[in-house]
Structure 1
Amino acid sequence: MFLWLLPSDDRSCWRRCCCLLNYLLLLFVLCCLWFCIRSDRQLLGPPRTCRSQGAATNFSIGSSSLQSIALQRMLYKKPDALKPPRSDICTMTPWFAPIVWNGTYNSDILKAQFEGRNIHIGLTLFAIKKYTVFVSTFIDTAEKYFMVGHKVTYYVFTDRVSDIPTVELAEGRQMVVLRVPTYQRWQDVTMRRMEMLRNYSRQRFIDEVDYLVCVDVDMRFSDEVGVEILSDLFGTLHPGMYGLPRESYTYERSPQSEAYIPLDEGDFYYAGGFFGGNIEEVYKLTNFCHNAMMTDKAKNIEAIWHDESYLNKFFLYHKPTKILSPEYLWDNSFGIPKFLKRRRFVAVPKNHNEIRN
């Protein structure tokens, strides 16, 4: 109000001074905000590059540069939201983990998604004692069907290094032979796999591969096994237990064992011959199984199906993010049921007593 008491020239001057003060105040506030942001960044350290295992996008915080892998033009049948691709089998778990069956996915789309990601897969096999005789067939069929077009390292654990054959491999694929101790009993051989996988996951695999696939060596690939299996943590439905009620599963039923599962619990029965995931998750699984086995051993307890029993206990309380159907682990002695459209990984016929002793 008092401005009107001043001469007109003085009122104009006063207005200019007020405007100038407002601009200075605004500048002061902006400077304070800038210094606060700069201080926060200094406390957090330099911008980090986010790298997810096998991720499709490279994103640097604080950078305007984004590199993403986009799918090229593709022609394929439109998915029908009201009609599932298969209705004769279960394709999804209650915790939204997909169950991988033939006909439930488009392999061309999956391959396109993984192109350019430069993923590296580790495939582990244990060729202890007489099991070295299976290595040649295993590698030959894996070269034909397993992760074709991707970088693969075969990690062969053996106590007989000189018995491991030299196999010609495709470009980008290699075989690494790892010498390990031998054990008198075949039960100890199969259970000690968890300890070795745990140790090598922490000491070596974490620096060399993105995903680890752990399988039995007395098998052969007979159909395509590709990127559709990859996930943070995956297990495989046991071919002999598929479709049975949980009461019929051969879980460990002794309450004294660390592998114990009560009759009223259990989702599926998982096979010990095909599991995997990213290195961190495989480490957690194998670390649990090994520690549980050592606890039981101190109590003179041996679970009914050895490492497989502890694997099932882990998967019960640490749900896998993807499950492979029996297509990925089959024994032709079970016949060929109608739901089985493909047999991708099958057991080699053998005399178990002869090969184990």
Structure 2
Amino acid sequence: MIFIQGKLLPAFTIKAIGSAEKASRTDVNTVTNWNVPLVWEGTFDPVVIDAIYKNANPRIAVLVLAVGKYTRFLKGFLESGEKYFFVGFRVTYYIFTDKKHEVPNINLAPGRNISIQDVPSAKRWQDVVLSKMKWATVTIEKWLYKEADYLFMMDIDSIFHNRFGAETLSRLTAVLHRGYYKTNRDSFPYERGPKSQAYIPYGEGDYYYTAAVWGGYLEDMYKLVKYCFEKSQEDVKNGVEAAWQEESHLNKYFLYNKPTKVLSPEYLWSDYDTVPNDIRVVRISQLIKNYAEVRPNGGQ
């Protein structure tokens, strides 16, 4: 089902989107084992999908945290987003930062906006990561439900290199982690400690998803971020912290609440890694950086 501003799109529209997403790739899996699209370059028609969604005119929100020295990545993220992120759509970049004065002035296309929100500084990068679910929950509850139909959560230390568009929209959209999309599930870095609310035992799991890019319809995203926030708070009360903070809780949620669309690692690669043959297009890439220098606790 596909919703815009709380309304289900007509059946003919859904059928058209489905036909636009038919696979023309034989070198990769293009559907999950629960029968939803696994999106790669060559598996969708961008003209058809954009035409359908632009007619519906959805409001797209993207939430990023730029705390401490991470404000240096804002300019590149925003400028490249204006070139490639939902071009021609209504977009608002929600920037949560402790340094509002360091948010750059960016020339935005019509219908696109920046909203700057204050957040406190952090002493540990792990606290910054975990706070994403908190701020997303609070933001949706307070005002975002009036301003957006779809929400994407993204890491600020990345650059758009190619199209990121309507082919990514669904109730819940996850992105395969570049480091684990070719490995077996017992190699996934799930939280393996049973005391954590993010615990996933060996022998379970579908994929390992990155927490650096994911999104979906606002109502479904609210359920997800609130779940992850509450479960991480339970961990705090119990004196534990999941191995990969919000990413661990995200993977736990997706295990039992399957994504309605999965995106290939094209949608988040890394400048640290060479690009294999199955990645025909790098759409977003995380930047090389000195973690010890940019993270508040020296990357530890």
Class of the TM-score when normalised by the shorter of the 2 chains: over 0.9
Work out which of the two has the higher radius of gyration on C-alpha atoms and give 1 or 2. 1
Matched, 1:133 2:67: no
Of 95, 120, 130 in structure 2, the residue corresponding to residue 181 of structure 1 is 120
| Aligned residue in 2 for 1:356 | 295
**Corresponding residue for 1:96?**
35
- Show structure 2 runs of 5+ residues with no match: none
Overall identity of the aligned pairs, in %: 39
Paired with 2:124 and 2:4, the residues of 1 have a C-alpha distance of 43
Answer whether contact 1:56 1:114 (CA < 8 A) is retained: no
Q: Secondary structure at the match of 2:294?
A: helix
Select 2:141's aligned residue among 202, 217, 222: 202
The one of 158, 163, 167 equivalent to 2:97 is: 158
Matched, 1:191 2:130: yes
Give the aligned partner of residue 166 of structure 2. 227
Amino acid at match of 2:256: Y
Deviation at 1:53, TM superposition (A): 3.8
Distance 1:71 1:304 in 2: 41
Report the counterpart of residue 200 of structure 2 in structure 1.
Answer: 261
Alpha-carbon distance in structure 2 between the residues aligned to 1:206 and 1:106: 30
Letter in 1 for 2:201: P
Deviations 1:2-42 (A, max 9, x none): xxxxxxxxxxxxxxxxxxxxxxxxxxxxxxxxxxxxxxxxx
TM-score, length-normalised on structure 1?
A: 0.78
The CA distance in 2 between the partners of 1:304 and 1:179, in whole Å, is: 28
Q: How does 1:242-281 map to 2 (within 5 A)?
A: 242-281=181-220
Structure 1 residue 332: Cα displacement: 2.8
- TM superposition shift of 1:115: 2.6
* 1:334 alignment partner, SS class: coil
Give the CA deviation at 1:87: 1.2
Asked if the contact 1:254–1:260 (Cα under 8 Å) also holds between the matched residues in 2, the reply is yes
Residue 240 (1) aligns with residue 218 (2): no
Decide whether the 8 Å contact of 1:127 with 1:157 is kept in 2: yes
1:286-322: CA deviations, max 9, x gaps? Answer: 1111111111111110111111000000000010100
How many residue pairs match? The answer is 291
Secondary structure of residue in 2 paired with 1:121: strand
Contact 2:4 2:149 in 1 (8 A): no
For the Cα contact (< 8 Å) 2:77–2:160, is it kept in 1?
Answer: yes
**Equivalent in the alignment of 1:344:** 283
1-side partners of 2:14 and 2:290: how far apart? 50
Question: Which residue of structure 2 lines up, in the alignment, with residue 143 of structure 1?
Answer: 82
Amino acid aligned to 1:102: E
| 2:271 is aligned with 1:332 | yes
SS of alignment partner, residue 244 of structure 2: coil
Supply the AA of the counterpart residue of 2:36.
A
Deviations 1:177-207 (A, max 9, x none): 0111222111011101101101111211110
Distance 2:264 2:7 in 1: 23
Measure the CA separation in 2 of the matches of 1:339 and 1:51: 33
Q: 4+ residue runs of structure 1 moved beyond 2 angstroms?
A: 50-57, 68-72
Q: SS at the partner of 2:285?
A: strand
Please give the root-mean-square deviation of Cα atoms over the aligned residues, in Å: 2.2
Letter in 1 for 2:283: R
Structure 1 residues 297, 51: closer, same or farther in 2, change over 3 A? closer
Name the CA distance, whole Å, in 1 between partners of 2:290 and 2:106: 25
Contact 1:238 1:271 in 2 (8 A): yes
Deviation, 1:111, is: 1.2
Per-residue CA deviation, residues 69-100 of structure 1 (Å, 9 max, x unaligned), is 8999xxxxx99x9xx51111111112111111
**Does the Cα contact within 8 Å between 1:214 and 1:273 map onto a contact in 2?**
yes
Is residue 245 of structure 2 the alignment partner of residue 306 of structure 1?
A: yes
CA deviation vs aligned residue, 1:154-183 (integer Å, no higher than 9, x gap) = 000001111111111011101000111222
